[in-house]
Amino acid sequence: MRRVVFVIYEGFQPLDLVGPHEVFQYAGRLTGGGYDCRIVASAAGPVRTHSGLPVHAAHGVDDLAPDGVDTLVVAGGTGVDQARDDEALVGWVGAAAATARRVTSVCSGVFLLAAAGLVEGRRVTTHWGREAQLRAEHPEAVVDCDPIYIRDGRVWTSAGVTAGMDLALALVEDDHGRDVAHTVARELVLFLRRPGSQSQFSVPLWAVRPATDPIRAAVAAVNADPGARHGIPDLAARAGLSPRHLQRRFTAELGMPPAAYVERVRVEAARRALVEGDEPLEALARRLGFGTAETLRRAFHRQVGVAPSDYRERFRATREPL
C-alpha cells in the first residue's frame, strides 16, 4: 500500500486534486488496493478552491506526520502565491519530500516545491501561462514549459489542469506497468494517454485569428486542405496580394511566417489521421503535403515531441475494448 498525499490550500485548482486522485483510486481498485490517498492542508477542514468549490482536507500539517509518504502531489492554483508564504505548510512539504520516494506537482504547484527548496538544478515545467514568472523567480531551476510533464530523478512536475491526470497515469505506469495505466485511462474515458514529452501547445492555443480578410482567405485555404500546394505564390494568389506583401502581413497578423503555419496545420492533420486510421506513414506524408515519411517524422517530432509511430501506438492502446 503506497501512501499518496495531496497538498492543497485556499485557492487551489480542484481538477489538480480530483483528476490525479481518481487515477490513483481506480488504479488501487484495479490492483487490489495499491494506494492510500490522503489530503492535507494547513489545517484540517474545508478548503475553498479558486472556483469557490469547498473541499474537505481530512488532515492538517499538525496531525499528519510527514514521514511515510510514498508520493507527494502538490496541487496548483491561483492561491499558490499565498500558500508559499505559509511557513508551516512549506515546512511540512519539505519534511515530507525529504523521505518521499516521489515528489510531484501539478501546474503552479511547482512554486510550492520551489519555496521548499526542491527544484534547484532540476528540470521542471508548469502551466505555460506561469512560465515567465517561474523563470524570473526561480533561476535555480531549469524551466521547460513545452512538455506536459517532466521527470527529473524523483521530482515530477506537470503542466496545468488535465496534464495532472497524464502525470498520475505516468506514475501508475511507473508502479504497475503499462497495461494497468492503459486500463485506467480507458475507464476514465481519456481520449489519449499522452507521453510527457508531448507539447502542451495545441491548435486552440497557437492558432491566432487573422485580422484582415486577405489573410483569413489564405488561412482558410490551408485549413480546408492541408495537403494542397501552399507555397508563398499559392497563398498570395488566394489572398490577392503580392508574395512579399503576403509574407509580411501573414507574419504580422499570426506571429509566424506562412511556412511555419502550414507545417503546424499539416502536423495537426497528421495527428488526427494517425489516431483515426491505419494509413501507412509514406501515404500519409504524401497526402498531407510532407512529401516523404522522413519529412513528416521530423516535423511531427518538432511540433509534438514524439515520433508519429509512438503517437499512433499510444492512442491505440487506449482504444482497446474494455
Residue 193 lies in a domain: no
Q: How far apart are the C-alpha atoms of 159 and 106, rounded to whole Å?
A: 6
CATH number at residue 250: 1.10.10.60
- pLDDT of 209 over the 80 cut: no
Last residue of a domain, one of 123, 154, 187: 187
Kindly provide the b/e burial profile for residues 11-36, where b requires at least 16 CB atoms within 10 angstroms of the residue's own CB: bbbbbbbbbbbbbbebbbebbeebbe
Between β-strands 45-48 and 102-106, what pairing exists: parallel, antiparallel or unpaired?
Answer: unpaired
19, 131: one domain: yes
Q: How far apart are the C-alpha atoms of 183 and 23, rounded to whole Å?
A: 10
Torsions phi, psi of 103, nearest 5? -120, 120
Return the pLDDT at 194. Answer: 58
Cβ–Cβ contacts within 10 Å for residue 42, how many?
20
47, 124: one domain: yes
CA 284 to each of CA 60, 87, 272: distance values in angstroms, whole numbers, following the listed order: 55, 55, 11
Return the pLDDT at 33. Answer: 75
Average pLDDT over the chain, rounded to an integer:
89
Which stretches within the chain are classed as H helix?
A: 14-30, 80-83, 87-99, 110-115, 131-137, 163-176, 178-187, 203-206, 213-224, 232-239, 243-254, 258-276, 281-287, 293-304, 308-317
Task: Indicate the DSSP class of residue 208.
Answer: P
Q: How many domains does the chain have?
A: 2
178, 102: one domain: yes
97, 245: one domain: no
Return the pLDDT at 4. Answer: 97
Mean pLDDT calculated for residue range 192-204: 51
CATH number at residue 123: 3.40.50.880
The larger pLDDT score, comparing residue 190 to residue 295, is at 295
- Please check whether residue 25 is in contact with residue 37, taking contact to mean a CB–CB distance below 8 angstroms: yes
Task: Supply the DSSP string of 289-309, one letter for each residue.
Answer: T--SHHHHHHHHHHHHSS-HH
Q: How far apart are the C-alpha atoms of 155 and 167, rounded to whole Å?
A: 12
Reported confidence tier of residue 198, pLDDT bands at 50, 70, 90:
low
Full residue range of the structural domain in which residue 258 is found: 203-317
Task: Indicate the DSSP class of residue 156.
Answer: E
Torsions phi, psi of 150, nearest 5? -135, 140
In this predicted model, what pLDDT tens digit does every residue of 5-54 receive, in sequence order? 999 999 999 999 999 999 999 999 988 878 999 999 999 999 999 999 99
Which residue from 10, 203, 254, 214 is spatially nearest to 112, judged by alpha carbons? 10
Residue 55 lies in a domain: yes
Contacts of 294 (CB under 8 A, 6+ apart): none
Q: How far apart are the C-alpha atoms of 159 and 109, rounded to whole Å?
A: 10
Residue 214 lies in a domain: yes
Which residue from 290, 251, 240 is spatially nearest to 268, judged by alpha carbons? 290
262, 298: one domain: yes
174, 213: one domain: no
19, 167: one domain: yes
Which stretch of 74-88, 98-112, 190-204, 276-290 has the lowest confidence by average pLDDT?
Answer: 190-204
114, 248: one domain: no
Q: How far apart are the C-alpha atoms of 36 and 29, rounded to whole Å?
A: 11
Residue 195 lies in a domain: no
Residue 196 lies in a domain: no
Last residue of a domain, one of 154, 187, 220: 187
154, 61: one domain: yes
Residue 192 lies in a domain: no
Last residue of a domain, one of 134, 154, 187: 187
Residue 37 lies in a domain: yes
Q: Taking the model in full, what pTM does it have?
A: 0.67
24, 146: one domain: yes
In this predicted model, what pLDDT tens digit does every residue of 122-174 receive, in sequence order? 999 999 889 999 999 999 999 988 788 899 999 999 998 788 998 999 999 99
In sequence order, what are the beta bridge partners of 55?
Answer: 47
253, 109: one domain: no
In sequence order, what are the beta bridge partners of 233?
Answer: none
Task: Supply the DSSP string of 36-55, one letter for each residue.
Answer: EEEEEESSSEEEE-TTS-EE
235, 286: one domain: yes
Residue 279 lies in a domain: yes
